[in-house]
Chains A and B, each alone.
Chain A
Amino acid sequence: QKEVEQDPGPLSVPEGAIVSLNCTYSNSAFQYFMWYRQYSRKGPELLMYTYSSGNKEDGRFTAQVDKSSKYISLFIRDSQPSDSATYLCAMNTGFQKLVFGTGTRLLVSP
């Protein structure tokens, strides 16, 4: 079993839709959870960073962590074509290397 599972997609949605991206994980010691966005031909850039359980909002983006279910989500409201990218979840215990998901490719059509 992989430590982090993430559906590779692609996920295709129309502009303005609410997007839900998800990851599940197996290591209950994970405490820090990140979402990275990677545009084509670019390196990943940190989008959201959450510690432990709960929600965090930043503009159109909301990160949600449910440690009891070992499940994290990234919601994008009012999605735009410029949101088309690959979204990578990443997590760690705080003392070890980051463990990444495979990434979900998102396509937002005008």
Chain B
Amino acid sequence: ETGVTQTPRHLVMGMTNKKSLKCEQHLGHNAMYWYKQSAKKPLELMFVYNFKEQTENNSVPSRFSPECPNSSHLFLHLHTLQPEDSALYLCASSQELTSVETQYFGPGTRLLVL
């Protein structure tokens, strides 16, 4: 595997379910990001991790809970989501945290909340 991978690629869940999204980067990068992409809206930065430490939480509701056990893996734990949370969730990584560094994106997880 190369680049940034995400699993699952598609997820349908009810509002009472608990699920997790997984991201793995094979680039040796130190910074990882979660973004939300909704139709006709700009990418919204959700969380930033640098060397496993969370450096930014962009006012994300607590029903989204990130976890970064090491610099290569990033999780997004989901619970009691709302239908408006349906979107494409993208993971990205960059060599360093300074945002002039190129961010490499995974293919995303398409989430549908019923």
Contacts and interface: CB of A to CB of B under 8 A. Distances in A.
A60 interface: no
Nearest to A89: B42
B33 to A, nearest CB: 9
Nearest to A4: B42
A43 B88 CA distance: 9
Interface in A14-42: 32, 36, 41-42
A79 to B, nearest CB: 23
A83 B94 CA distance: 25
A45 B103 CA distance: 8
Nearest to B38: A102
A68 B110 CA distance: 39
A94 B100 CA distance: 5
Contacts of A95: 98-99
Interface centre among B40, B56, B100, B108 (most CB of A within 10 A): B100
Interface of A: 2, 4, 8, 32, 36, 41-46, 49, 88, 90, 92, 94-103
11 contacts: A4-B42, A8-B40, A32-B100, A41-B107, A42-B107, A43-B6, A43-B105, A46-B103, A88-B43, A97-B48, A102-B40
